[in-house]
Amino acid sequence: MIPVLKISDHQIIKNLIENAHPSQRTKEMGSLQNELRRAKIVDDKKIKDNVIQLNSYFEVREISSGNRLCFTLTLPADANLQDKKISILSPLGVALIGFQEGKEFEWQLPAGVRKFLIEKVSKSLPV
């Protein structure tokens, strides 16, 4: 699957990576940079609401266990696990950016690779 990013998110993420201090460079940042290189970039007005972008709310389910994760994808400064906000620089953030509702993806966890399904994506938290 090729991630789809809107122009403004692509630029924000690219600047985040380029302006990071060498001590802040992580494996995830390198992975995110690779995702940016292979992403399809579209006009902001043409991105679908069901594609995970910065500030998107999403729900994913681990296929084998049925466990569900619900988060909002944010910039690192806004990340807060208590508020269910994860950073674009987290392993899950890197794995999900640019993918749409209904797609399956694999994610490396300490217990091994697990398969997940993106069940819901929206621009804001559900009411």
Which pLDDT score is estimated for 114? 86
Q: Give the 3-state secondary structure percentages of the chain, helix then strand then coil, rounded to 5.
A: 35, 35, 35
Domain count, the chain: 1
Residues in the chain, pLDDT under 50: none
117 within some domain: yes
Structure tokens at 61: 């389910």
Which pLDDT score is estimated for 83? 95
127 within some domain: no
Which pLDDT score is estimated for 127? 53
Q: What angle do CA 71, 74, 78 make, to 5 degrees?
A: 105
Would you say 32 and 17 are in contact if contact means Cβ atoms under 8 Å apart?
yes
Which pLDDT score is estimated for 69? 93
Would you say 127 and 66 are in contact if contact means Cβ atoms under 8 Å apart?
no
Which pLDDT score is estimated for 91? 86
Which pLDDT score is estimated for 55? 96
Which pLDDT score is estimated for 106? 84
- Alpha-carbon distances of 63 from 66, 73, 90, 116, rounded to whole Å: 5, 21, 21, 5
Helix (H) or strand (E) run with residue 11 in it: helix 7-18
- Domain range spanning residue 86? 4-122
